[in-house]
Amino acid sequence: MTSGIDKLISNLESRAQNDDPIALAEATKLVAENPSEPKVWSLRVYIFARTGNLSNAISDLTRAIELSSPEPSHYFDRGRYKLKVGDGAGAMEDFGRGIALCDEHGDDYYRESLHFMRADALLRAGKRREALADLQHVREGFTLWTTELRSKEALMSECG
């Protein structure tokens, strides 16, 4: 059975998807009432990201990471947000940490996407050789939104 907080989170996620202007205020109240619960911080990350407030999403995701077991998905998301706000170095660091966690957990679910995202960030930093090395871990035809829809082939082409 779902706990009360899980029901509140689910309800607020649904409301945020429907652009309810009060969802953020209620999520903020939930964070204040449950400051040691990573799920409420993640809820607010979701709402901030939906509304384009990536700086606050990064801040809240950092707090969620501090409160929970490290997961590759956390670093994938935070790295994406950092890349979008122009923090390429921070994004590369997060993608690298996510890849290391894939190794630690024996979980490959995010591995290919993390390599792809890091390759994109490396390419933007002019590090073509390193980007090519990451792209070796990505299958042909792979596409993903970085700051725009990108493909492995497009990144490879930009690497020269």
What is the value of pTM for the model shown?
0.93
**Radius of gyration (C-alpha) of the chain in whole angstroms:** 17
- Listed by start position, the domains of the chain span 1-68, 72-160
- Asked if residue 1 has pLDDT above 80, the reply is no
Which CATH class, in words, describes the domain spanning 72-160? mainly alpha
Q: Would you place residue 155 in the very low, low, confident or very high pLDDT band (cuts 50, 70, 90)?
A: very high
Neighbouring residues of 39: CB distance < 8 A, sequence distance ≥ 6: 5, 6, 9
| 75-97 average pLDDT score | 98
Q: Would you place residue 3 in the very low, low, confident or very high pLDDT band (cuts 50, 70, 90)?
A: confident
Asked if the domains 1-68 and 72-160 are classified in one and the same CATH topology, the answer is yes
pLDDT tens track for 50-63: 999 999 999 999 99
Question: What residues form DSSP beta bridges with 145?
Answer: 149
- Asked if residue 75 has pLDDT above 60, the reply is yes
Q: Which fold has domain 1-68?
A: 1.25.40
pLDDT tens track for 103-145: 999 999 999 999 999 999 999 999 999 999 999 999 999 999 9
| Of the candidates 85, 133, 139, the residue with the CA atom closest to the CA atom of residue 94 | 85
